[in-house]
Structure 1
Amino acid sequence: ISNDGKRDSDIDFMLKHFNLNISYEACLGFTINDYVEAYADGREDKLFELLFDKIDQLHQAYDFILIEGYPRTVFASALDFDLNLEIAKNINTAYVPVLNAKGKSVESILNEVQFATESIEEEACIHLATFVNRCDPNMIDDIKRLIPDREQIFLLPEEKELDTPIIREVVDALKEEKAEMIMGEPEQLEHLVSKKKIAAMGVENYLKRMTSDSLVIVPGDRVDIILATMLSFYGKKHPNVAGIILSGGMKPSKTIMNLLKDVDESVLPILAVESDSYQTAIALNSVQAVMRPENKRKITLAKGIFDAAVDKKAIADRFNKSSSEIMTPMMFEYKLFERAQSRRQRIVLPESSDERILRATEILLRRDIVDIILLGNKKEIRHQSALLRLDISRATIINPCKSKLREVFSQKFYALRKHKGLTLKAARDALEHPNYFGTMMIQEGMADGMVSGATHTTADTVRPALQIIKTKPGISIVSSLFFMCLDTKVLVYGDCAVNLDPGASELAQIAISSAETAEQFGIEARVAMLSYSTGDSG
């Protein structure tokens, strides 16, 4: 939404026109300033997470969500990419650009259409349709001839009435001038205002310059102009103005008002303002036409234009058939957080001396999605986190060398491995190593998982799990995998760290294990077998 702090008129319109039982706040995204500041600070992912949360909440109650973007010109000076496309890509939704063709040539319109199409393709978004709004009716046939048939591009003609303000919008714009309606009916506030006229001359010359649908600004003591304007309404050959604004804080006398009200019906709305005619005319320059839920005439006109220009069935069919395999890193991370939050786990981090681990710990604790157990010297961990200005106070810290659990774990580890020649002393020595201690915590149900490998080798990380927890039934070989987060997809690469020269059957098992892991993380498994060469062998 805009940065001015005002309620968004489009949101208000949708809520009232469609009678939606949704709070205004639930429909708000974020302002341009919010995003620009977050982008500059490297925090834009946090805004996207808030947006994801809001969309998820709406999805629980509604079948369809429409997200209105912002004009490219609004953020073009601050960002070198299309924010709307960035949002569409990260929430994996169909995208419909709406282009403004007012005052543009055929060539310029075609260039904008091509640019929008290529931008959507480049971001791998679903291109549902393109609406080119406010086209010169005389250009539409020329544009259609030059647009490829395969593209769903719809040209909507300019309709002057939709861009013409009404009396109600004039009243809103003149609030500071204390505008009030002193005569007329509420429905007359819907009168269109095509022009404004300041009446400063005599009646005869004024009548020659009157135009239909104009708003007449006249000092409140000019009874002659007021009466002539109202009388012209009944003239068959005279224009009908939209209304009258009485300026200067002056109103007709009670006698004149009674005369005006004595007419059979209130033919014109009459407003009174405190400002003079010139100030009032200046204020009217800021009046903009806005689609309002009360203006049935404009709504009906807009719907008629849309129905005539757009193949709604084709768009609906395209939407129902559309699907996307986009998975951006931001989406992937958000889904991981969602799953973690819905199934809270206890995670052991054995590399607590590493700054990255401590920073990650603070992030996880702040988001309150997991219980963290840090292994190491409590004083040293607290001191290092204080130096880094990190708050990890909610983490559990266990020193394997001093914990009473060490002896308990040593005895159990010895029992598991004594048939392999392990001695009790060797078991006790092993349990001083945080990876062994953390693995035993998982074995004994004191933790649900462990993350290691930031400072330890792959062998040091995998060996305790092989010796204590062992492989799943049916799995004949241990393998590793990486999640490669690309711009619009997440790929699983396995095995890149454990098995140096696997045979055919081992490769098959690695592929199966990697595919199963991918499915567990919500990634559709389609396996490709890749060969590789090292050094100068290839």
Structure 2
Amino acid sequence: MARSVYVTGIDRGDGRQAVELGVMELLTRQVDRVGVFRPLVHAAPGQPGSDHVVELLRGRYRLDLPSSELYGLGYEEAAALQAAHGQDELVSALVDRFHALERRCQAVLVLGTDFADTSIPDELAFNARLANEFGAAVLPVVGGHGEDPETVVAELLGAHRAYTDLGCQTLAMIANRVAPGAKQRIQRTLTEKLPVPAYVIPEEPALAAPTVAQLVEATGAEVLLGDAAGLARDVRGYVFGGAMLPTFLDALTEGALVVTPGDRADLVIGSLAAHAAGAPPIAGVLLTLGQHPGPNVMALAARLAPGTPVAVVPEGSWPTAAHLTHLEGKLTSASPRKAEIALGLFELHVDTAELTNLIEVGRSERVTPMMFEHELLERARGTRRHVVLPEGTEERVLRAAEILLRRNICDLTLLGEADAVRRKASSLSIDLPAEDPAADRAQVRIVDPATSPLRRQFAELYARLRAHKGMTVELALDVVTDVSYFGTLMVQEGIADGMVSGAAHSTAATIRPAFEVIKTSPGASIVSSVFFMCLADRVLVYGDCAVNPDPDAQQLADIAIQSAATAAQFGVEPRVAMLSYSTGTSGSGADVDKVRKATELVRELRPDILVEGPIQYDAAVDARVAATKLPGSPVAGRATVLIFPDLNTGNNTYKAVQRSAGAVAVGPVLQGLRKPVNDLSRGALVQDIVNTVAITAIQSQDHASQDRTSQDLASDSKELPA
């Protein structure tokens, strides 16, 4: 069993950071304490934090290990030690530092040397020796950028032979950054000739493109305008300004960085005006010769394209161009978009289930927030569903959509005027690929309710459903142009499998169409909600914290039964606590009596559900308190599903736990509808939207499974003899 994985290569430029990120993702899905170790680092002794990949992994995966423990030695210190005492002494020092970290972790990802100005003789053999001394399995990566298929295959076979001959346990081989058209040919050859799995990852231009921030750092530019989002834009090309404005505008391309002398106010204002109009959106403007435009020009620039970077360098266009020519993007903690792109690429082209089995770190019994989130994405990806997002021009929704598409989680429909959606996406450097049903990846389409051919069909359907309220087709034609209604009708008609909205709409605007069109599922008296509260060592389910202000005993029982089912659906064993301000028979009053009655109803309706109530929160979750207040209870002290007596209590408690205990709150997740529609908080973060869409996709998978089971049962009943 390999507790550590050593990702290495044979030369520089292999782009293995994307593979390192992908392997880290796999490890953190299985265990909650993963370490990262860089044996040698390009930094002065005592300043190891400058390694951008280690710091990316440390921040993204919330590693609570001191930064200094994640590194071995600086290259200069290592070279001096080797020169004075030999390689054995150097290796011994690195092994000691590695084992000090390994003792604190369930698994460790080791990042091999980068073959760039390292002054280490026979660097491949050195990596192999370290891997063997660490007891780590090796995952070699060979770069294919600019190489023909034959060369890539030869280098990969040679790398496998070299690491195997040096005694390494080789998990698999990866060819990275290959020409997309050569992928299948290389894959077939490697599968035939290698005794271990081989994965081929094509070149992704978005990973190679530097961000404006990276460009600013590389050139030493001074930023005059621009916000964090603007500086995070990808630079997809360069346009050097020297022509007159009409000719210059024709040369602009989407995502280009405009490089022009600082005294060309016409080109600065012209390019920013073109960006504001979306024709085309640019990455930013870089001014040369140290020339700062006047304050009136800068004020106009700030109004034309808020957030778009404008920076200045002292050099002229020619030396500036020389700086930019070989600049490539890199994965850093400041470029989370690139990390998502890299993960999506890795997951699309690597058999992650196979590689996980090869690593065999064993699964942790403890479920951390990160492991729960990973599980959501993995389950959603299992059977790809189609989710509609009505808020197609909302920035957080677009950023979430990019992650969902890149990670191949589900197909999406974005609602909104097509040009407006794409213009907004382009201004954020988000690439929404054209729909291609033949492609083996998640698809996106943009639909404008006002011009969609479905508008008439949906109006007629809505008019029939609401005829008892006086609705007519003519009125419905206006109603269904509302994105919430249009999205809900897509779900109702099976055009989409689920809907997520609420980042820019109220809860009522999201849920009302679902009540009118989709309605409650059989057996559910009301629609309610739960939050998955991801604490440090477990996941609890809170209900109802978002929908029903003051449920009666029957409704409270229904919420408990629904919440238990939702908990089980997402891998949380349901043990239900019906919360009150008293425990057992110690209290009385209308509020306590309501909870007591609801508990009795749950036991009558679903005797298979473990339920306790009335019970106080501390007795529900703390075994020591439970032993005093309710000894012998199968739920007290072990509750996983906590049902609050009213919305006031539930909403305030979830927010208090979220803010005070640092819990990750996933939800609200609606339950009780015939088809999945979920609401977002208007303060939802991008990751909250991603998680909610994944939950919606999983709910849809289960709805589809239940529908198939019902159809099968119906079919079987027809075949029974009379």
TM-score range, shorter chain: 0.5 to 0.7
Which residue in the other structure is 1:195 paired with? 237
Using the TM superposition, give the Cα deviation of residue 74 of structure 1 relative to its aligned residue in structure 2, in angstroms: 5.5
SS at match of 1:98: strand
1:356-375, aligned counterparts within 5 Å?
none
- Does residue 341 of structure 2 align to residue 301 of structure 1? yes
Unaligned residue ranges in structure 2 (runs of 5+): 1-39, 363-722
- Does residue 100 of structure 2 align to residue 57 of structure 1? yes
1:266 to 290, 300, 306: 306
Using the TM superposition, give the Cα deviation of residue 96 of structure 1 relative to its aligned residue in structure 2, in angstroms: 0.8
Q: Does the aligned pair in 2 maintain the 1:173–1:286 contact within 8 Å? A: no
Q: Does the aligned pair in 1 maintain the 2:41–2:71 contact within 8 Å? A: no
SS at match of 2:259: strand
2:347 is matched by which residue type in structure 1? D
Q: What do residues 374-398 of structure 1 show as CA deviations (whole Å, max 9, x unaligned)?
A: xxxxxxxxxxxxxxxxxxxxxxxxx
- Does residue 208 of structure 2 align to residue 163 of structure 1? yes
Q: Does the aligned pair in 1 maintain the 2:210–2:234 contact within 8 Å? A: yes
C-alpha distance in 2 between matches for 1:209 and 1:60 = 58
1:340-489, aligned counterparts within 5 Å?
none
SS at match of 1:30: strand
1:216 to 228, 239, 258: 258
1:189 is matched by which residue type in structure 2? L
Which residue in the other structure is 1:502 paired with? none
Q: Does the aligned pair in 2 maintain the 1:166–1:193 contact within 8 Å? A: yes
Which residue in the other structure is 1:172 paired with? 217
Using the TM superposition, give the Cα deviation of residue 225 of structure 1 relative to its aligned residue in structure 2, in angstroms: 0.8
C-alpha distance in 2 between matches for 1:11 and 1:267 = 29
Using the TM superposition, give the Cα deviation of residue 159 of structure 1 relative to its aligned residue in structure 2, in angstroms: 0.4
- Does residue 225 of structure 2 align to residue 183 of structure 1? yes
Using the TM superposition, give the Cα deviation of residue 164 of structure 1 relative to its aligned residue in structure 2, in angstroms: 0.5
Which residue in the other structure is 2:700 paired with? none
- CA 1:106/1:77 → structure 2, altered by over 3 Å: closer, same or farther? farther
- CA 1:80/1:203 → structure 2, altered by over 3 Å: closer, same or farther? closer
Using the TM superposition, give the Cα deviation of residue 64 of structure 1 relative to its aligned residue in structure 2, in angstroms: 1.1
C-alpha distance in 2 between matches for 1:321 and 1:185 = 42
TM-score normalised to the size of structure 2? 0.41
1:226 is matched by which residue type in structure 2? V
C-alpha distance in 1 between matches for 2:82 and 2:291 = 53
- Does residue 359 of structure 2 align to residue 319 of structure 1? yes
C-alpha distance in 2 between matches for 1:145 and 1:203 = 51
2:162 to 102, 108, 119: 119
Q: What do residues 105-163 of structure 1 show as CA deviations (whole Å, max 9, x unaligned)?
A: 22211111211221222122211111111111111111122123542111111101101
Determine what percentage of the aligned residue pairs are the same residue: 22
SS at match of 2:175: strand
2:285 is matched by which residue type in structure 1? I
Using the TM superposition, give the Cα deviation of residue 39 of structure 1 relative to its aligned residue in structure 2, in angstroms: 4.5
Q: Does the aligned pair in 2 maintain the 1:36–1:78 contact within 8 Å? A: no
- CA 1:3/1:297 → structure 2, altered by over 3 Å: closer, same or farther? closer
Q: Does the aligned pair in 1 maintain the 2:269–2:297 contact within 8 Å? A: no
Moved more, 191-200 or 130-139: 191-200
- Does residue 290 of structure 2 align to residue 249 of structure 1? yes
- Does residue 44 of structure 2 align to residue 24 of structure 1? no
Using the TM superposition, give the Cα deviation of residue 36 of structure 1 relative to its aligned residue in structure 2, in angstroms: 4.9
Using the TM superposition, give the Cα deviation of residue 37 of structure 1 relative to its aligned residue in structure 2, in angstroms: 5.0
- CA 1:261/1:111 → structure 2, altered by over 3 Å: closer, same or farther? closer
Q: Does the aligned pair in 2 maintain the 1:217–1:277 contact within 8 Å? A: yes
C-alpha distance in 2 between matches for 1:174 and 1:80 = 31
1:136 is matched by which residue type in structure 2? A
C-alpha distance in 2 between matches for 1:262 and 1:125 = 59
C-alpha distance in 1 between matches for 2:123 and 2:272 = 56
- CA 1:100/1:81 → structure 2, altered by over 3 Å: closer, same or farther? closer
- CA 1:225/1:55 → structure 2, altered by over 3 Å: closer, same or farther? same
Q: Does the aligned pair in 2 maintain the 1:162–1:298 contact within 8 Å? A: yes
2:121 to 56, 78, 86: 78
TM-score normalised to the size of structure 1? 0.54
Using the TM superposition, give the Cα deviation of residue 297 of structure 1 relative to its aligned residue in structure 2, in angstroms: 2.0
Q: Does the aligned pair in 2 maintain the 1:164–1:194 contact within 8 Å? A: yes
SS at match of 1:288: coil
C-alpha distance in 2 between matches for 1:72 and 1:273 = 31
C-alpha distance in 2 between matches for 1:52 and 1:267 = 48
- CA 1:80/1:259 → structure 2, altered by over 3 Å: closer, same or farther? closer
1:143 to 186, 194, 198: 186
Q: What do residues 139-195 of structure 1 show as CA deviations (whole Å, max 9, x unaligned)?
A: 1111122123542111111101101101010111122xxx23222222111111122
2:237 is matched by which residue type in structure 1? K
C-alpha distance in 2 between matches for 1:234 and 1:80 = 50
- CA 1:125/1:279 → structure 2, altered by over 3 Å: closer, same or farther? closer
Unaligned residue ranges in structure 1 (runs of 5+): 323-538
Q: What do residues 286-328 of structure 1 show as CA deviations (whole Å, max 9, x unaligned)?
A: 5331112232321111111111111222222222299xxxxxx
- CA 1:2/1:285 → structure 2, altered by over 3 Å: closer, same or farther? farther
Q: Does the aligned pair in 2 maintain the 1:246–1:270 contact within 8 Å? A: yes
SS at match of 1:138: helix
C-alpha distance in 2 between matches for 1:239 and 1:321 = 49
SS at match of 1:229: helix
1:141 is matched by which residue type in structure 2? Q
- CA 1:201/1:81 → structure 2, altered by over 3 Å: closer, same or farther? closer
2:228 is matched by which residue type in structure 1? P
- CA 1:224/1:67 → structure 2, altered by over 3 Å: closer, same or farther? same
Which residue in the other structure is 1:493 paired with? none
- CA 1:54/1:134 → structure 2, altered by over 3 Å: closer, same or farther? same
C-alpha distance in 1 between matches for 2:148 and 2:325 = 27
2:328 is matched by which residue type in structure 1? Q
Q: Does the aligned pair in 2 maintain the 1:230–1:267 contact within 8 Å? A: no
- CA 1:73/1:171 → structure 2, altered by over 3 Å: closer, same or farther? closer
- CA 1:106/1:275 → structure 2, altered by over 3 Å: closer, same or farther? closer
- CA 1:283/1:110 → structure 2, altered by over 3 Å: closer, same or farther? closer
2:231 is matched by which residue type in structure 1? L
**Residues paired across the two proteins, number:** 317
- CA 1:81/1:296 → structure 2, altered by over 3 Å: closer, same or farther? closer
Higher-Rg member (1/2): 1
C-alpha distance in 2 between matches for 1:284 and 1:140 = 29
Q: Which one has the bigger strand percentage? A: 2
SS at match of 1:181: strand
